[in-house]
A and B are shown apart, each in its own frame.
Chain A
């Protein structure tokens, strides 16, 4: 993945070319080995007036063969990874390039807010003034009413994820914050202040997926494998869901991925979850079976998900501090988790015995969710 942050003058094609080039170097493969591209992007039409990005990004990466853009809001590149895995598993391809990119900082915050809200229901939500922070705020206030919890509980999640990013040179915010910083920040949409929200970011991610046979035949170092894949969907609009503070698409994605990998939540050593807003980390941990509904709100506060906790969550800094270039996020989770398990991430020492990692990438208010299980296989 590229460093995430503000590079407003760089095009998405340039960002993705960089990420793809680094992925080729890491895999010790040349672009001509790739048989197919699955590429995630959400708001290219808003930010760059650029659609039809599959062929564009294939060319930027030096790849020929079929190329497809996946758009599933913030889950775009996670879904792209899933398609790549399925393509390899089915025997349709031995080498697939997956990833995504997003250019967001070349437009104003107001225009970016408008672009992001397109992941919600255009009739029933956007026409009522629902923004993305607003939608997750509706979920947070519903959660507080149903299960309890406070803004301070959420603040501990922001503090944790910023702390994890301090030494991560790829992160947008290598900056520690404290509880007061979070609680005293300007309100975006109640109960969220600025530090409850992930930022707008520029960045790209890429990974080369290969079959076991190809890796063996070519002597590739593939010490980490994707062993479980799952995806779920839900009603797009919050108003059409049975329970607003729960995310059944993540439950479905998680259960499918666990079954696929032959593991249970108890086997997971480290997780990267989609903390686009602080409450989103809570909902993810509960949906993935790490906590019962209503129980994950205090996980960060109690130190259970901190870097030295029982289940470290978002050691990369998460979306909150690493940054959230929407279409790149799911692929970046795969990249960061691979490094964490492989031992070459700046925070790998915190999970040196870890053999099973999980990534959770959500679109919209988790109307889309894709979960991957990664395991050390050497």
Chain B
């Protein structure tokens, strides 16, 4: 993709970097992530920014050895999906050995840059 910002998505990454991450809450209390104009759960256009819970819980993970060209120099790396309250987020693990990553672990969200392309990406670190 080009270097042009992706509205909503890059705003979320900015918010994580600023220490103020958020999700979008629909009228039924459901959560989603930007960019959104319509709540996927209810169809409502009433979306409210809510603070993302400070910690999340890993719900699944994998260590990828064969990567896309954009992550060739990053491999092997661990991708995880972590649940932060009503939303799940995908990111790469940092500051933990691959064999030590487990479902159920508590993590903090952050932003790092990939080694190959030096592009921003969501990362998770084990909570203190």
Residues of A whose CB lies within 8 Å of any CB of B are 109-111, 113-114, 117, 122-131, 133-134, 137-142, 145, 186-191, 235, 237-240, 244
Contact = CB atoms under 8 A, between A and B. Distances in A.
Given A128-B79, A129-B114, A240 B67 contact: no
Given A138-B81, A142-B59, A128 B90 contact: yes
Nearest to B8: A123
B41 to A, nearest CB: 10
8 contacts: A124-B89, A128-B91, A129-B64, A129-B71, A129-B92, A138-B79, A142-B60, A238-B88
B122 A190 contact: no
Using C-beta atoms within 8 Å of the partner chain, give the interface range for chain B.
35 or more
Contacts of A137: 62, 64
A114 B62 contact: no
Contacts of B1: 122
A145 B105 CA distance: 13
Interface of B: 1, 6, 9, 32-33, 40, 59-72, 74, 77, 79, 81, 87-92, 98, 103, 114, 119-122
A142 B81 CA distance: 10
Contact of B68 (A113, A188, A190): A113
A240 B40 contact: yes
A129 B67 contact: yes
Nearest to A129: B71
A117 B91 contact: no
Contacts of A186: 65
B9 A141 contact: no
Contact of A125 (B63, B69, B74, B90): B90
Contacts of B33: 124, 239-240
A139 B89 CA distance: 15
**Which among A134, A137, A240 has the greatest number of chain B C-beta atoms within 10 A?**
A134
Contact of A244 (B74, B77, B81, B87): B81
A-B complex: 6 closest residue pairs judged by Cβ atoms: A137-B62, A142-B60, A239-B88, A114-B68, A189-B64, A123-B9
Given A128-B121, A244-B81, A113 B90 contact: no
A86 to B, nearest CB: 26
Contacts of B40: 235, 240
A123 B12 CA distance: 11
Nearest to B34: A123
Nearest to A136: B62
Contact of A123 (B6, B63, B68, B92): B6
A141 B103 contact: yes
A110 B88 contact: no
B91 A134 contact: no
B29 to A, nearest CB: 14
**Which among A129, A138, A186 has the greatest number of chain B C-beta atoms within 10 A?**
A129
A9 to B, nearest CB: 23
Nearest to A189: B64
A131 B67 contact: yes
A129 B60 contact: no
A122 B10 CA distance: 13
**Which among B74, B81, B87, B114 has the greatest number of chain A C-beta atoms within 10 A?**
B81
